[in-house]
Amino acid sequence: MGRRVLKKLTWASLLFAVLCLLVAAPAEADSLLYDNGPVNGTFDALLIGAGGYQPLSDSFTVGGNSTLTVAQVGLWVPSGNTPTSVDWAIGTVAGGSDIASGTSTFSNQTNEFSNGGFDIWRSSLDIGGSMAAGTYWFSLQNGTESGGVALYWDMNNGPSTAFVNGQNVVDFCSQFGGTTCSESFQIYDSGPAPTPEPSSFLLLGTGLMALAGVLRRCSHL
Q: Identify whether the C-beta of residue 157 lies closer than 8 Å to the C-beta of residue 123.
A: no
Residues 6+ apart with CB under 8 A from 85: 103, 104, 105, 106, 143, 144
Q: Which residue has the higher pLDDT, 100 or 220?
A: 100
Q: What is the pLDDT of residue 170?
A: 72
Helix (H, G, I), strand (E, B) or coil at 11: helix
Q: What is the pLDDT of residue 157?
A: 86
Give the DSSP letter of residue 43.
S
pTM of the model: 0.75
Give the domain ranges of the chain.
Answer: 2-26+196-219, 30-190
Residue 219 φ/ψ, nearest 5 degrees = -70, -20
pLDDT (tens digit per residue) in 34-72 = 999 999 999 889 999 988 878 999 999 999 999 999 999
Q: Which amino acid is at 134?
A: G
Q: Identify whether the C-beta of residue 162 lies closer than 8 Å to the C-beta of residue 183.
A: yes
Query: Cα dihedral sign for 71, 83, 97, 43?
Result: negative
pLDDT (tens digit per residue) in 147-201 = 999 999 999 989 999 998 777 877 666 665 666 689 999 999 997 544 455 554 4
